[in-house]
Amino acid sequence: MFVKILNSFVIVIASTLLGRELANKYVNRVNELSALQVALSRLETEFEHYASHLPEAMIRIGNSIGGTAGKLFYIAGQSLTEKSSTLSEVWNTSLDLMKPEWSLRQEDSKILRRFGDQLGNSDREGQIRFIRLTLAQLHDEEVKARAAREKYDKMYRSLGLLGGIALAIILL
């Protein structure tokens, strides 16, 4: 009987952790979109007020932001200083390297890839306009992500716990 209770306890704990992990993806997506907006705002400031070189600006932003967004900017900045690849190639390679760490969806990645494709292709004013457009798109995605988080966060957490309890009862 003790073994059945112990197994039931393990099942409930495992399913609760699984539900929590699924819920955390929604929370992480909101946080990552917010951090990306902060990073892009800083990049806009670097272009507009400081006229910084892009690799140095990206490295500075990466160091100051932290997290996955900061790591993306740092890797892209480092790659720009070390390689003779185009900016678009470096950005897309950096996005590919970060993909396993992201909780972002395909729509978010498309926005970031479009940003990378346009970065460096126009004058300073054009760059600032495109950063602002990207910021607006990321903001829209963040609003959607917050709504999804509100909807699914509690559901997955509760479903994990209740599913584990139900499975434990069935197996008893």
Q: With left for phi above 0 and alpha for psi between -120 and 50, is residue 19 left, alpha or beta?
A: alpha
Question: What is the rounded distance in angstroms from the CA atom of residue 77 to the CA atom of residue 58?
Answer: 5
Question: What is the rounded distance in angstroms from the CA atom of residue 54 to the CA atom of residue 109?
Answer: 21
At which residue do the structure tokens 């346009």 appear?
Answer: 118
At which residue do the structure tokens 């197996």 appear?
Answer: 171
Question: What is the rounded distance in angstroms from the CA atom of residue 19 to the CA atom of residue 153?
Answer: 9
Tens-digit pLDDT string for the chain (172 aa): 888 888 889 999 999 999 999 999 999 999 999 999 999 999 888 877 776 688 888 889 999 988 899 999 999 888 888 876 788 888 888 899 888 888 889 999 999 999 988 877 777 788 888 999 999 999 999 999 999 999 999 999 999 999 999 998 888 8
Four-point Cα dihedral 96, 98, 104, 108, nearest 10? -50
DSSP summary character for residue 120? T
Determine the 3-state secondary structure of 83 from DSSP.
Answer: coil
- pTM: predicted TM-score of the whole model, two decimal places: 0.84
Question: What is the rounded distance in angstroms from the CA atom of residue 123 to the CA atom of residue 103?
Answer: 32
Question: What is the rounded distance in angstroms from the CA atom of residue 169 to the CA atom of residue 102?
Answer: 36
In the structure encoding, which two tokens stand for residue 36, read together? 């990306």
8 close to 171: Cβ distance less than 8 angstroms? yes
Amino acid 172: pLDDT: 80
Amino acid 123: pLDDT: 78
